[in-house]
Amino acid sequence: MPGQTSARVLHPCAVMDRKLLTLVIAGALGAAAAIGLMEAASRYASMPLVLIPFATSIVLVMGSPEAGPAQPRALIGGHLVSTLVGLVIVKTLGPGPWVAAFAVGASIVAMHLTRTFHPPAGIDPLIVVLNDLPWTFLLMPVAVGALALALFAYAWHWGARTLVQRATPVRTERVPPP
């Protein structure tokens, strides 16, 4: 009809090139594997899954590996700094909802000051304060888990990029643009 424009619906594959789509799918599969491993580790360690603060970190480092907050310094440092802030505050002020809220705010400042800003780590002081967790929580699961996640993400993304590069045909002739 005259005067009307038709809306064209794009297929998701038309928006992304194949290489990028493959890497996105590989990241999603890696996130699923990491969540499964975290759940298995939770059962093995007899630690409730709700006390292991890495689900949102997994989504970030597997889904957006180039983002600043997904880098190892931010991932590992953010979790360590935030947990340490939560532990210092709970040991000083005791557990409670307002103390937990203060600890989360203080951890944001601490992460910025240490250049380790990792938004998912903001949950760590909340978990620490509301559950009045011991100092050992800093080592296990936080330090061990953050380091393990950083290593897993590095290995997974390296493998995915390597497979995509090998599967991508190399053009030797120059094709003029249409």
Residues 83 and 124: their CA atoms lie apart, in Å, by: 5
Q: Is residue 9 part of a domain?
A: no
pLDDT tops 70 at residue 5: no
**What are the phi and psi torsion angles at 82 (to 5°)?**
-65, -40
Predicted confidence (pLDDT) per residue in 20-35, tens digit: 888 999 999 999 999 9
Would the CA dihedral through 92, 98, 100, 102 be positive or negative? negative
Number of domains, the chain: 1
Please give the model's pTM, rounded to 2 decimal places. 0.83
CA distance 74 to 9: 38
Could you list the residue range(s) of the whole structural domain that residue 65 is in?
Answer: 14-166
Report which secondary-structure segment, H or E, holds 105: helix 97-113
Is residue 125 within 8 Å of 82, Cβ to Cβ?
A: yes
> Contact, 55 vs 81, CB < 8 A?
no
Report yes or no on 37 lying in a domain. Answer: yes
30-62 per-position pLDDT tens digit: 999 999 999 998 888 888 888 888 999 999 999
| % of the chain with per-residue pLDDT over 70 | 85
**What's the burial of 27, exposed, middle or buried (CB within 10 Å: 0-12/13-18/19+)?**
buried
* Separation of CA 113 from chain center: 20
Whether residue 2 lies inside any domain: the answer is: no
Token digits of residue 1: 């009809």
* Residue 176, in any domain of the structure: no
3-state SS string for 31-81: HHHHHHHHHHHHHHCCCCHHHCCCHHHHHHHHHCCCCHHHCHHHHHHHHHH
Please report whether residue 46 resides in a domain. Answer: yes
Predicted confidence at residue 123, as pLDDT, reads: 96
Domain membership flag for residue 83: yes
Residue 24 dihedral angles phi and psi, to the nearest 5°: -65, -45
Classify residue 24: in a domain, yes or no.
yes
Is residue 126 domain-resident? yes
